[in-house]
Structure 1
Amino acid sequence: MPHYQYKARNTVGALVNGALEATTLDAAASELLGQGITPIDIRQTSGRPKTDKAASTSGRTGRPRAGAKQQNGFQQLNDALMGKKIDANELIIFARQMRSLTKAGMPLDRALTGLQASVKNPKFRDLLQEVQRSLESGQNLATALGQHPKVFSPLFLSMVDVGENTGRLDLAFEQIGRYLELDKNTKKQVKSATRYPSFVLVTIAVALGVITYFVIPAFADTFARLGAELPFETRLLIGISDFVVQWWQFLIGGSVALYFAFRTWGRSRRGGLIWDNKKMSLPLIGPVYQRVALARFARTFAMVMKAGVPIVHGMGVVAGAVGNRFIARRILKMREAISRGESLYNAALATNMFSPLVLQMISVGEESGTIDQLLEEVADFYDAEVEYDLKRLGEAIEPILIMVIGAMVLVLALGVFLPIWDLSSAASR
């Protein structure tokens, strides 16, 4: 019977090493799980025959073939082109696959090895290899994933940590996958609702730039040769056009500098706090930002409560997941109030963020001990409100865009075509 050496963690989380006999690798993993030990790495001590190893490495002693070298070059080029940012879809697939593998009792190192073969993004594949090496060095999964904070959020890490400590890692990955998918759908709805207005505004800006830089100067030369008295609207358009033609480099450079300055300010601590507060007061789109953040708060809070995370620690995790620094600051104030002994209802009431209906549901959930279930209903309520607001947003923006286009046509008609009509009238007398 084959012999296997293993690295694993016992019920208290301590790293243990040992050896056992089993018919297969899966049987060895099942035997360890039956003893209450979570496998990290299992290796067969007998290994493969030396002839196989020699055959597999014989090509390394000689000169590399040109075809293999060319193939490696194409592979590196393909990896460089495919080396995109790790997006939400890949994290969702990762969470679903880890849920299935951990539920089946697969050791974590073998699960990560299998996932590396199916990942197409080279950056994500390298990340999984680093996580696997961290596991083999004795770290737990939450710590190994925590070495990549740009990919895995505090909520992701907290749920994995709770899943490891409670022995329900599969349930933790299931909740993570569900949350990531709902969050992705919300972002997709917001982008879909703002795509058409953004496209129209960009088109209008490009059209105004072309008309100001090319069309109006041509009309201005014609009017100058005729020597006719021009109306005020035409003189205003010609003055604006002359200014743009003369200073267009500074206008473009100033706009780019202003954009990057605003981004830098928005990423700063104080600037981000002010901007996240002000954008919730914007007309039409402001309430959508607020409800999206509150839906994330309710759903994330429900997840950490259901997972058994202490409420004070969970509020800190929730604050980092809402995506709005102003609301995150209010949540941290809720945590301070709860740590002083106040109820969740009173802490939520003091923030002035929630509607009376939501506050009532929080109160009932706190009294009945079903706060996680009612918070999920609150999240569903906000998601429905966001969907309704996005539909209403499209209906409200469309007439505004039509008015903008009409105003642009009216200005061009008064400034460009009115002098032509005056000249035609004077010539026909």
Structure 2
Amino acid sequence: MSVFAYMALDAGGKILKGTMEAEASGDVLTHLDRVGCTPISVKAQAGAPKQTRTLRDWLTPDPRPEDITGLTLDLAMLLKGGVALDEALVILAQMEGRSWLSRVLRDLHAALSNGRSLSQAIGQHPKLFPPIYVKMVEVAETSGRLEEALSGLAVERQRGERLRKRFVSAIAYPSFLVVAAVAVLFFILIYLIPKFEVALQGFRDKIDPSALIVFEMSGFLNRNLDLVVLTLAGLLGAVVLLNRLGRERGLWLALFARLPFTRAVLANELTVTFCRTLAILVRNRVDISTALRLIRGVVRLPGAGPEIDRVIADVRQGQRLSETLFRGKLFPRHVVQMIRVGEESGDLADSASRVAVFYEAKLDAALGRVIAVVGPAVMVLVSILIAWLIISVMTALMSINDLLV
């Protein structure tokens, strides 16, 4: 990654200057826009020192979101214990055994030593600290509630990580069954079927067509075993590549959104993400327009982005959030009604939080139904496939036995 020097205007018209690590200048512009700043200039720093990775660093994965959540919890605990922010970063860096996370902590401490705020320091690592994280820290620093904001951030990140793991488990179990079924199928076709085929030499013209298909499949796999192995290796590499691209570009979400049994799950997840994030930002005194821009960067469900852009434009023109949401189809009507109640009572954060809790329960129940339906369905298909192979071979053997008798 390269280091870019930027200059921007914040919401209050104050000029901000700093540096940020990014793949390209466009990433810096996107990050500045998401945190509510107006970019003035973004330039690559000439002669900026580049961090070199050792072989061990290449083999060691970058910090996961769970690592950043743990870091947030530890930092909040130290701050509540009366430890100064720069000292807390030094302590955490000394205690951390993972090289990349330790390096991030040292970078944060160096930025603070150079006179930057914590929000500016973490803003230099946009891949680790999302814009919502940066904005909440910035607001908390202004209000003097940094440890409280970090604790709230950690709790909400843990909640989101639990939902993410639940969603992954709903997909991983059927995927494991499919992989296991393919492995069993290849074992039967490559190892077992040829042993039966020896006993059926000279009787192939009298074998049942279904059994003949099985023997032809077995013969093809054994004759082209090298090609099959190379093809499987290529497919595995393609799956790994698609998995990475799918996470970054939302390809998996686009696919799941088209499936009937996951559509309701993603709709509930969108409601939870929107309302939970809105509650956090509003509770920490972030204005609605900035909060919606930050939510726009979090939501990746296909079709939701342009709708949120329309909501942002309407809110900027002075319309209420509930009014512009009512004209769209982003959320159910009772969700919009709850947001309207919150706006009228002056407690939008509380209303949005209640909606998020309700839909979080619905999301958990929907994920449970997906696991309960998809898992057994895949198991039944696997059983039918293996039963077809066994029955075809046994039928062929029994027919040959009848001919011999």
Where on the TM-score scale, by shorter chain, does this alignment land: which range? 0.7 to 0.9
Aligned to 2:89: 112
After TM superposition, the structure 1 = structure 2 runs for residues 14-163 of structure 1, keeping only pairs within 5 Å, are 83-163=60-140
Q: Which amino acid in 2 is paired with 1:397? A: V
Alignment partner of 1:401 is 2:378: yes
Q: Secondary structure at the match of 1:308?
A: coil
C-alpha deviations, 1:211-248, integer Å up to 9, x for none?
Answer: 22333333334323445511111222233334434241
Note the aligned Cα RMSD (angstroms).
2.9
Query: Residues of 2 paired with 1:308 and 1:410: CA distance?
Result: 62
Aligned to 1:279: 256
Aligned to 1:167: 144
In the comparison of the two structures, how many residue pairs are matched? 351
TM-score by length of 2: 0.78
Query: Residues of 2 paired with 1:355 and 1:99: CA distance?
Result: 37
Query: Residues of 1 paired with 2:204 and 2:388: CA distance?
Result: 22
Alignment CA distance shift 1:392-1:240 (3 Å) = same
**Higher RCO (CA < 8 A, seq sep 6+):** 2
Query: How far off is 1:332 after superposition?
Result: 2.6
Query: Residues of 2 paired with 1:396 and 1:319: CA distance?
Result: 32
Query: Residues of 2 paired with 1:403 and 1:83: CA distance?
Result: 39
Aligned to 2:235: 255
Query: Residues of 2 paired with 1:262 and 1:109: CA distance?
Result: 40
Alignment partner of 1:218 is 2:187: no
Query: How far off is 1:262 after superposition?
Result: 4.0
Alignment CA distance shift 1:360-1:225 (3 Å) = same
Alignment partner of 1:304 is 2:281: yes
Percent of aligned pairs sharing the same letter: 24
Gaps of 5+ in 1: 1-12, 15-76
C-alpha deviations, 1:340-366, integer Å up to 9, x for none?
Answer: 333212322344121222121112112
Query: How far off is 1:328 after superposition?
Result: 3.6
TM-score by length of 1: 0.73
Q: Secondary structure at the match of 2:261?
A: coil
Query: Residues of 2 paired with 1:286 and 1:122: CA distance?
Result: 40
Alignment partner of 1:378 is 2:358: no
Q: Which amino acid in 1 is paired with 2:228? A: W
Aligned to 1:340: 317
C-alpha deviations, 1:145-204, integer Å up to 9, x for none?
Answer: 111112111111111111112221122112111111101111222234444333222211
Q: Secondary structure at the match of 1:404?
A: helix
Alignment CA distance shift 1:260-1:85 (3 Å) = closer
Aligned to 2:4: none
Alignment CA distance shift 1:92-1:258 (3 Å) = closer
C-alpha deviations, 1:317-352, integer Å up to 9, x for none?
Answer: 112223535434432332122223332123223441
Bigger drift between 207-216 and 377-386 goes to 207-216
Aligned to 2:290: 313
Query: Residues of 2 paired with 1:177 and 1:311: CA distance?
Result: 22
Query: How far off is 1:112 after superposition?
Result: 1.1
Aligned to 1:190: 167
C-alpha deviations, 1:65-107, integer Å up to 9, x for none?
Answer: xxxxxxxxxxxx9x86995432233322322232233345533
